[in-house]
Chains A and B, each alone.
Chain A
Amino acid sequence: MNILDYLKEKKLDRKHFIYVTGAAALGGFLLAKFPIKFLSKRAENIYSSNRKIQVRENPDSVKRIKA
């Protein structure tokens, strides 16, 4: 059956509409938090193992005192 016809026939009352919309929003939020890799190459880059770069000083280095 055509989804639009189904939607037209299946009238949601306001209370159920809010529940459905809320559930969809929550689902979208969770999906956004944990994006599936194949969706975006960029997401793959962002979540690559490179992203955590630790910056440490070398303890044997000698700093310059620059006026």
Chain B
Amino acid sequence: MSDKDINYWRGFNELNSDPDFLKAKRDEFKDELPEGFADGLDTSKSSAVSRRTFLALMASSAALAATGCSDYREKGAIIPYNKKPEEITIGNPNFYASTCTACANACGILIKTREGRPIKIDGNPEHPVNKGKICATGQANIMNLYDPIRLKEPMLKGSGSFSSVNWLDADTKIIDELKKAVAAGKEIAVISHTVTSPTAKLLFEDFAKKYTTAKFYSYELTNDINKVNAFKKSFGKDGLPVIKWNEAKVILSLESDFLAKDGNFVEAQRLYTESRDVMKKNGEFNKLYVVEGGFSLTGANSDYRIKLRTDAIEEFAYALISALGENNSGIDELIKKYNLKREAVKSLVEDLKANKGEAFVTAGAKFPESTHIAVNKLNDLLATKVYSKENFASPVMPLTAKADIDALVGRMNAGGVGAVVHFDTNPVYHFSPDYKYADALKKVGLVVTFAEAHNETSELSNYVLPVNHNFESWGDHKPRTGVMSTQQPVIAPIYKTRQKEAAMLNWLAEKPEAYAENIYMNYIKANWEKSVYSVVSAKVDFKTFWTGAIHDGVIAFNEKFDDTFTFRPEGFNAPALKASTAAVLQLNRPNYLTDGRFANNGWLQELPNPITKSVWDNYASVSPTYAEQLGVKANDMVEITAGGKTVAAPVFVQPGMADGVVAIDLGFGRTNAGPIGNGVGVNTINFISKNATVSEWLYNDVKIAKAAGTYEVVSTQEHFPIDNERYNDIHLKREIIREGVFEEYKENPKFLKEEIGKVELFNIVPSYEFTTNKWAMSIDLNKCTGCNYCVAACNVENNIPVVGKEQVGKNREMMWMRIDRYYGGHSDDPRVSFQPMLCQHCDNAPCENVCPVAATNHSPDGLNQMAYNRCVGTRYCSNNCPYKVRRFNYFNFRDNLADAYYEKDSLSLMHNPEVTVRSRGVMEKCTFCVQRIMDERQHATEEKRDLNGDNVKTACQEACPTSAIVFGDLTKKDSDILKHRDHELGYHVLEEINVRPNVTYIAKLRNIKPEKKA
């Protein structure tokens, strides 16, 4: 039977020729509309526009829209060099040595430029102080150079508002007013920050010779003036000793955050971790004790942390002095009174006694003189040898005493000050409200403010003169004896700005029309020829010497100073600071904003606080117990009253703080910082009293009360309830963090491998053989202090966008690297572990298999790659990543934040041209700085040699002050990375899931008594 003979049917109705079925089949497609079809249809309500008209209108609209979509901005012309300078190769960066002036530490820096634009800052390896490392603020300072809020030209205040004025007119008028002030016998007050430049000091002296009523004042919002005064009383020296942290076997920090905020913390981190190096065979570890009321980065890195309310720490110091003299009664009393950890305190006393000469005690700058004198006595009893014999940090110009500032304001109010010149300072914001400085300014005839951008002080000025950024300026700096570092401009001023010292020289010369960009450079050269060249006994002529100094960025020379430290008992009596029954308020320097001058820097606002992991705000940190007593929880508002002043702030519950202590950062709450910085946080400078009973940064007559409302403080890290049994010590249970005890490691170096055991892992596919290069990284958790400098460097190198507080609140921060901070133990006294987390570049990457468009794949040299232009944004890769290191561009973040602030032209100059700027809808992550690998590959090809993995340094590795990060090629024998990978303390995170990560972590060892292991 053929197909033609078979009768096909779809249902029984068809098979049985059901009459209803047949009728419906006949009527399915009718030529005519059925009757009554249009009944009730009202054609007057249908559109008057015919289909033809509608299509005509749509077509013309589309044509108009298409013409409007063109990018009509004029991009300018690209013109090659007509006569190319010899030393420039297009496409190759240039480097300049200079000095960072973000704070008074004056670290040496190397500035990388591309086509004349600075794009990256790193430390100057030749600088003897910071040795190639700088802090996060120094890294992110590049953004301030290109910040759109920078003043472009001088401004003159007319009737209530500012208008542009040219430099010639401004200088002529100012010179006139200065001369009038001198003629009238009125003071000319020049107010600057810490003066680290000997040439600037000379300039001030010359200025005072010409304008005879000129007086100079210098201040810092947070400073170590109490420590300096105490050292003067105890040892008769002006300044502070340089500490050889690497030679101290036992360090006691009394609320001194020397690893993050106090003194030269970049140098301190490097030296401190030199004694925590497991790569050294038979190396010994130092021991760090921290006694604090707050929770600092130094405390988080301690071996023993003793929590004690801040205003009881001076009593503790005196009790220790007695204990060193074999009288333990004071210590025992304190242990009982404050419920201190007895074993930790006993261990501290024993270790101090056993390590005389190699023990050192330091106290935080926030303490009054009396505490520092007690600490000086302790160090004298310990006969400490960690004071450097080579260098001493004597100030070029001491900071002005509070009494002198007070006297100045008094004279301003009395009409005795004819002119005030703010030398790139912002005292209206920084000074204590007790001075009523803003009111006093109104009584001064001429107020001139040099500033990079408008601030709270410039708003009240007659003239606002725009200054060069750090990278556009000449200078010299002397951070300590025997070290002079140079500062040079790497770019000519972008706008019509001038160096403030050059402007002052102009006023000296009284020839404003004769201004030239290099007048301050010539002034420095003249000073160096007279006072530096003759001292260093250089064997070359001055021109060569000068060029060499600018090229190197620093000169080091022998400079004698009196290196004996004989303790004088002046000021050493009984404890002057005693614990009160009220709460204690600590006002702390912020981690990255210095004194608030970086408030408009989005990278720094978004860099998480290393302990709280919070961004974009400050807050009142209190302990969990204290929060419970106050009846508050996280994000509740509280009113803090100290010295009669009240400020409201949101609460942050910080495990490990002492009860009765409130810690809050300064530098926030600015009102005229720019669109990014305005209104971020609360202004706690309002607490600062000019007549503080304890110190400007410490108050112990504090009342705290719950206030109405809440305020969300955003954190990049979730806060699990760590006392919940499920989450308690989860990082240890899941073996994300592995730790040990140093003594146990010495007895059994292979203890970690024995704990891990042999993990049976297999592949269902053959493993790839890496024959040429295989990139890998190692992170030593003994050296990692959790400072976040690597994160800042990565942000700058890889053009990471700033997303803003709201987006961070939705976990959309874009940083490729993060430092995970884990608490272990009870919330009253947790132990902290830090772990930098970045893309692990897994050999069996779970993200690669799931990409539907193969946008992420593996390179032949072991990198997990991203092809941004293939990515369609399914986010499946991020979903699959066990380390959660992938970041998705939910928006074009540059366009999304603060009215497209980061789309402005000047900020586009900041981008690193070696790295793609990603747009919306694209996944991104750490690339192991593939641009730097490619750079080395290119050089190797040009030089006809093999690629040398040791020449590749990732941005994070370069920035890490402790050299905790090691990167290299595993195929190279005897490479550092191979030694780290094969180290007995090396492990991988989540090894058991068989993704084969290429980041090795070296387990952290704590130098504690073995039975105290967590």
- Residues of chain A touching chain B, judged by Cβ–Cβ distance below 8 Å, are 2, 4-5, 7-8, 17, 21, 24-25, 28-29, 31-33, 35, 41-42, 45-46, 50-58, 60-64, 66
Contact = CB atoms under 8 A, between A and B. Distances in A.
A5 B117 CA distance: 61
Given A21-B60, A50-B905, A56-B116, A64 B70 contact: no
B68 A64 contact: no
Interface string B471-508: 01000000000000000111110100000000000000
Contacts of A50: 148, 152, 904-906
B388 interface: no
A61 B490 contact: yes
Interface in B59-75: 59-60, 63-64, 67-68, 70, 72-73
B161 interface: no
Contact of B96 (A42, A45, A46, A64): A64
Contact of B906 (A28, A53, A62): A53
Contact of A58 (B59, B68, B492): B492
A50 to B, nearest CB: 6
Given A4-B48, A54-B494, A21 B59 contact: yes
Nearest to A17: B56
Contact of A63 (B49, B67, B87, B518): B87
A64 B486 CA distance: 13
B48 A63 contact: no
Contacts of B550: 61-62
Contact of A66 (B49, B95, B488, B490): B95
Interface residue range, chain B: 35 or more
B900 interface: yes
Nearest to B549: A62
B324 interface: no
Nearest to B113: A57
B64 A24 contact: yes
B115 interface: yes
A53 B547 CA distance: 29
Contacts of A63: 87, 94-96, 551
A60 B117 contact: no
A62 B67 contact: no
Contacts of A45: 900, 904
B965 to A, nearest CB: 20
Interface in B502-547: 517-518, 521, 547
Given A8-B48, A25-B60, A64-B94, A55 B494 contact: yes
A5 B48 CA distance: 7
A65 to B, nearest CB: 8
Given A28-B63, A64-B551, 15 more contacts: A4-B48, A4-B53, A8-B50, A24-B63, A24-B64, A31-B68, A32-B68, A41-B899, A50-B152, A54-B494, A57-B490, A58-B472, A61-B96, A63-B96, A64-B553
A50 B73 CA distance: 13
Contacts of B900: 42, 45
B794 interface: no
B877 to A, nearest CB: 33
Contacts of B115: 55
B359 interface: no
Contacts of A29: 67
Given A32-B68, A58-B490, A2 B96 contact: no
Across the A-B interface, give the 3 residue pairs with the lowest CB-CB distance, nearest first: A64-B95, A56-B492, A28-B64
Contacts of B517: 58
A67 to B, nearest CB: 9
Contacts of A2: 48
A6 to B, nearest CB: 11
Contacts of A8: 48-50, 53
B705 to A, nearest CB: 43
9 contacts: A2-B48, A25-B60, A28-B63, A32-B72, A52-B76, A54-B494, A58-B517, A61-B488, A66-B110
Contacts of A60: 488, 518, 521
B97 interface: yes
Contacts of B73: 46, 51
Could you say which of A2, A57, A66 has the most chain B C-beta atoms within 10 Å of its C-beta? A57
A21 B67 CA distance: 13
Contacts of A62: 96, 488, 547, 550-551
B909 interface: yes
A21 to B, nearest CB: 5
A19 to B, nearest CB: 12
A62 B490 CA distance: 9
B108 to A, nearest CB: 12
Contacts of A41: 899
Contacts of A21: 56, 59-60, 63
Contacts of B492: 56-58
Interface string B87-125: 100000011110000000000001001011100000000
Interface string B547-568: 1001101000000000000000
B421 to A, nearest CB: 26
Nearest to B125: A66
Interface in B912-957: none
Contacts of B553: 64
Interface in B619-637: none
A53 B491 contact: no
B76 to A, nearest CB: 7
A67 B95 CA distance: 10
A6 B136 CA distance: 68
Interface string B40-58: 0000000011100100100
A51 B532 CA distance: 43
Interface in B103-157: 110, 113, 115-117, 148, 152
Contacts of B97: 64
B532 to A, nearest CB: 16
